[in-house]
Amino acid sequence: MAWRLGSVSVSTHGTSASQEASSHADAQPRPHVRDFYLEHPAVAALSSAEANAIRASLGVRVIGLEHLCPNPVSSFLEASFPAYLLETLAAAGFAAPTAIQRQSWPVAMSGLDLVGIAETGSGKTLAYLLPALVHVNAQPVAQSGDGPIVLILAPTRELASQIHEESVRFGHPCGVRSVLVVGGVPRGPQIAALRKAPEVAVATPGRLLDLLGAKRSNLDKCTYLVLDEADRMLDLGFEPAIRALLQQARADRQTLLFSATWPREVQALAKGMLLPGAITVEVGGALAQGGKANLRIAQRVTVCDEASKLSNLIGLIEQHMGAAAEGEDVPRLMVFCSSKKRCEDLTRALRLDGWPALGIHGDKSQEERDWVLHEFKHGAQPLLVATDVAQRGLDIKGVRCVINFDCPVSGEAYVHRIGRSGRAGAQGSAHSLLTSEDARVAADILKVLKNAEQPIPDGLEALAARAPARLR
């Protein structure tokens, strides 16, 4: 039978090509290949003490079943990726893997279930995507009518679109096709793309469940399933859709769950979808009490009154946009607001004041949102005013500063907002404007600042002290 480029040697147990082609209708799915990991000699030579020392230096902690966890790798070559992926990584200009990638790749390539808990901007997408492409190339060639081999679920259209772009970028050189399945856009093109049996589907739960219910595709061959930003998906109420999708995927699938936080709700979801032998990899103290922000982000908080917030904001914009040296690109700034109306009003006020601001929120069409993000990402309009629709998942490099014009709803939301800066190893900054109405969240933000050893501004501790005692 035909096998994909870069596949490993596998036995078909005497089945004929015609039998394989009809596997879609089989009552019992045939076993599939999960373990592609060829441990590099330098990695295999590490003692347990040496491996633990490397993890400690990276801020990596393996939780539970440590004896099953492979040693961390130090380079792309040691990760046991085939040549076509190494060439694509080199062409993309990646110098070295991140901490989450160094430990997650050996786990995922070994076919083990994985929970990855790490801060935003830590490289989680490639941590699961590159092993997914190797997984695809080790399976039989997809036939017309087949559903995806790899399913990646994301909470928002923006995050799903970014994952899809990376899937196309790295999948195209090795012949792996990807489809984007999200709401807010016509179903027709997505249905047509699914008919061509793409190996990877990147989807938001609601639209995918809708198309599966209409028999436009199936998950009969889904053997590699990823939940990205699992905590955000639960925040958005996707748990029933996720559980319905899990029931349709193969029971013998490999499952990877990635999250920036680890609340009880996510733990319960993970317990129901992962094998008992799943490996949990935590990076950078992401499980720290009270939330832990990216240490590369310089955090500043100003306690002020509502009337002075706009002047404070304009002063911050002048400070950052005027700091670029001659010949440098204008720095990108993100400003977060509490509501769609607030976003529209602030965008209009900034444009009237001469600033190149564009707004994004949930009431804008998908086409407009895509255009706004394109303009911001490429620097044509370097000032983005947004609601929490942009709080998670957006991977836009070069965001110099995140400004919380309106306070986020929680310390967790604060960590995710400011995480739009300081991505991919870069330094970033964040500035938040708090008023007397923000005492409830001030206590959370104070914890985050202390955890990151950031300066505590005048007035913040007094404001936090006004929060109900159970929140402090």
Q: Are residues 240 and 305 in the same domain?
A: no
Q: Are residues 245 and 361 in the same domain?
A: no
- Residue 163 inside a domain? The answer is yes
Q: Are residues 241 and 372 in the same domain?
A: no
The model's confidence at residue 412, banded by pLDDT at 50, 70 and 90, is: confident
- Residue 419 inside a domain? The answer is yes
- Residue 205 inside a domain? The answer is yes
- Residue 10 inside a domain? The answer is no
Instruction: Dig out the tokens for 239 from the structure.
Output: 């748990």
Question: Model pTM greater than 0.85?
Answer: no
Q: Are residues 77 and 108 in the same domain?
A: yes
The model's confidence at residue 5, banded by pLDDT at 50, 70 and 90, is: very low
In the chain, % of residues over pLDDT 70: 86
Question: How is 100-140 classified by DSSP, letter by letter?
Answer: HHHHHHHHHHTT--EEEE--TTSSHHHHHHHHHHHHHTTSB
Q: Which of 10-19, 247-256, 285-294 is predicted most confidently?
A: 247-256
- Residue 9 inside a domain? The answer is no
Q: Are residues 169 and 47 in the same domain?
A: yes
Q: How far is CA 301 from CA 187, 383, 396, in A?
A: 44, 20, 23
In sequence order, what are the beta bridge partners of 63?
A: 280
In 214-254, which ranges are continuous DSSP H helix? 230-235, 239-248
Q: Are residues 405 and 430 in the same domain?
A: yes
In the chain, the number of structural domains is 2
Least confidently predicted of 163-167, 230-234, 434-438: 230-234
- Residue 292 inside a domain? The answer is no
Among 248, 283, 318, identify where a domain stops: 283
pLDDT at 243 over 70: yes
Q: Are residues 303 and 269 in the same domain?
A: no
User: For residues 261 and 414, what is the distance between their CA atoms, to the nearest angstrom?
Assistant: 12
Q: What is the pLDDT of residues 264-297, one digit of tens each?
A: 788 888 887 776 678 999 987 655 544 566 778 8
| Nearest in space to 377 (alpha carbons), one of 362, 349, 345, 399 | 399
Q: Are residues 311 and 454 in the same domain?
A: yes
Among 255, 283, 311, identify where a domain stops: 283
pLDDT at 170 over 80: yes
CATH code (residue 278): 3.40.50.300
Q: What is the pLDDT of residues 91-125, one digit of tens each?
A: 888 888 999 999 999 999 999 999 999 877 778 99
Beta carbons within 8 Å of 121's beta carbon, 6+ residues apart: 294, 395, 419, 420, 422, 423, 424
User: For residues 392 and 420, what is the distance between their CA atoms, to the nearest angstrom?
Assistant: 8
pLDDT at 396 over 90: no
| Nearest in space to 365 (alpha carbons), one of 185, 110, 112, 140 | 185
The residue segments making up the domain with residue 353 are 297-471
User: For residues 292 and 270, what is the distance between their CA atoms, to the nearest angstrom?
Assistant: 22
Q: Are residues 224 and 306 in the same domain?
A: no
User: For residues 444 and 126, what is the distance between their CA atoms, to the nearest angstrom?
Assistant: 31
Residue 135: half-sphere exposure toward Cβ, Cα within 13 Å: 31
Among 218, 249, 283, identify where a domain stops: 283
- Residue 267 inside a domain? The answer is yes
Residue 167: per-residue pLDDT? 96
Single-letter amino acid code for the residue at 45:
A
Q: Are residues 277 and 372 in the same domain?
A: no
Q: Are residues 279 and 305 in the same domain?
A: no
pLDDT at 190 over 80: yes
Q: What is the pLDDT of residues 209-221, one digit of tens each?
A: 999 999 999 999 9
- Residue 322 inside a domain? The answer is yes
Q: Are residues 100 and 24 in the same domain?
A: yes
In 77-229, which ranges are continuous DSSP H helix? 83-92, 99-109, 124-136, 157-171, 188-195, 205-213
| 398-414: average pLDDT | 88
Q: What is the pLDDT of residues 334-365, one digit of tens each?
A: 999 999 999 999 999 999 998 989 999 878 88
